């Protein structure tokens, strides 16, 4: 069992930390929010005093943060993780960030003889709780195999996708597919509802065919029930599509569908919906068509 530092105790981080504890690892937790840190200590984690303190006490340090600037600050900033790390330590960034930022951090780690993996996840809060996340890893094969069992305590699918940065590139591809899928699902169910059909019946009719997907299974019931409690927020998905478009620009790529959905997400954020679950992407189409996707009323 390893001594693992864990920084980033939010909607995804805390359940991931709890699964490391369940697997028998010693976990040293740290985050800026004292209430979240107290909760993780109550779960069984040891209390870290700072990013640097966690880096000095653990041989493996995991970060789970909102975006690249936060990861840079926590790892490379003053009193950061890297200030405390000993040579031979390993930092695993499980945040979803721009691949170029992952490579920048990895280069700084290499100077201090600290290994680095980028290992973003997919599955949202439900799969973080279950320990069944899909984990997409970038880094050396040797380092990956050393920590693969540890990652498997948080995910049911752990895949080495290439060198550092490949994990986040794979995650961006994942986020494009998920966002466009939710937007298409919204259009389809809005049309069905406008034509007088029960969207539940439509979903059940198509889910075993080619249109079936994990997105449809997870997000259609939330949309129809008007349950937008976030497993993954619109704000964070917008950030991922922004990073996807930036990466596309760097590589002279045109991603027209991604750009359209990105604009939809920005509009929803402007309407105050940034903290809703990303299933609420479908509400963009609802508002334009003046229709609400829901089961028909059974009242007489």
Q: Establish if 294 belongs to a structural domain.
A: no
State whether 213 and 85 are in the same domain.
no
Could you list the active site residues? Answer: 171
Domain identity same for 7 and 146: yes
- Shared domain check, 209 and 156: no
- Residue 66: its pLDDT value, please? 94
Spatial CB neighbours of 28, under 8 Å, sequence gap ≥ 6: 3, 4, 5, 6, 45, 46, 47, 48, 54, 57, 58
**Are 182 and 208 in the same domain?**
yes
| Angle, helices 256-270/234-250, rounded to nearest 10 degrees | 150
Residues 141 and 188 in one domain: no
Picking from 163, 190, 218, the residue at the C-terminal end of a domain is 163
**pLDDT value at 13 more than 60:** yes
One domain, residues 70 and 187: no
Q: How far is CA 97 from the centre of its chain?
A: 9
State whether 276 and 145 are in the same domain: no
Q: What percent of the chain has pLDDT over 70?
A: 99
Q: Are 73 and 52 in contact (CB under 8 A)?
A: no
Dihedral over Cα of 226, 227, 230, 232: its sign: negative
By percentage, how much of the chain surpasses pLDDT 90?
A: 97
Q: How many domains does the chain have?
A: 2
Q: Is residue 188 a part of any domain in this protein?
A: yes
Q: How far is CA 120 from CA 75, 115, 168, in A?
A: 16, 16, 6
DSSP category for residue 278: G
296 falls within a domain: no
pLDDT at 297 over 80: no
CATH number for 261:
1.10.1040.10
Tokens of 221: 């019931």
Same domain, 202 and 262: yes
155 and 283 in a single domain? The answer is: no
What pTM did the predictor assign?
0.92
Domain boundary among 122, 141, 163: 163
Domain that holds residue 284: 169-289
The residues, ordered by sequence, that sit 6+ positions from 25 with a Cβ below 8 Å of its Cβ are 1, 2, 3, 4, 150, 153
Same domain, 199 and 51: no
Residues 137 and 40 grouped into a single domain: yes
Q: Which of 137, 163, 189 is the last residue of a domain?
A: 163
Instruction: Write out the two tokens for 64.
Output: 């789970």
Same domain, 174 and 146: no
pLDDT category of residue 168 using cuts at 50, 70 and 90: very high
- Shortest CA distance to 98 belongs to which of 69, 124, 78? 69
| pLDDT computed for residue 1 by the predictor | 83
Would residue 298 count as lying in a domain? no
| CATH code, domain carrying 90 | 3.40.50.720
**pLDDT at residue 122 above 60?**
yes
Within-domain flag for 299: no
């Amino acid at each position: 069992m390893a001594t693992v530092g864990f920084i980033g105790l939010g909607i995804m981080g805390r359940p991931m930390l709890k699964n490391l504890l369940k697997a028998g690892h010693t976990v040293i937790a740290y985050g800026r929010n004292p209430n979240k840190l107290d909760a993780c200590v109550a779960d069984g984690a040891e209390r870290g005093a700072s990013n640097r303190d966690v880096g000095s006490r653990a041989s493996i340090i995991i970060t789970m943060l909102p975006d690249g600037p936060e990861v840079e600050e926590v790892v490379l900033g003053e009193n950061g993780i890297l200030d405390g790390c000993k040579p031979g330590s390993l930092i695993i960034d499980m945040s979803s960030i721009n691949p170029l930022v992952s490579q920048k951090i990895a280069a700084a780690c290499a100077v201090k003889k600290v290994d680095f993996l980028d290992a973003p996840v997919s599955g949202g809060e439900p799969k973080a709780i279950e320990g069944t996340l899909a984990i997409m890893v970038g880094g050396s094969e040797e380092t990956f195999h050393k920590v693969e069992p540890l990652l498997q305590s948080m995910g049911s699918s752990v895949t080495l996708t290439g060198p550092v940065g490949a994990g986040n590139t794979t995650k961006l591809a994942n986020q494009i597919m998920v966002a466009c899928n939710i937007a298409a699902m919204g259009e389809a169910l809005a049309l069905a509802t406008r034509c007088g059909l029960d969207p539940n019946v439509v979903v059940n009719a198509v889910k075993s065919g080619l249109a079936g997907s994990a997105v449809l299974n997870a997000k259609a019931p939330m949309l129809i029930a008007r349950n937008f409690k976030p497993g993954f927020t619109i704000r964070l998905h917008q950030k991922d599509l922004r990073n996807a478009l930036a990466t596309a620009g760097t590589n002279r790529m045109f991603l027209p569908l991604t750009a359209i959905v990105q604009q939809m997400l920005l509009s929803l954020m402007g309407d105050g919906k940034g903290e809703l679950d990303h299933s609420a992407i479908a509400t963009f189409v609802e508002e334009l068509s003046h229709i609400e996707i829901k089961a028909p009323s059974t009242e007489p």
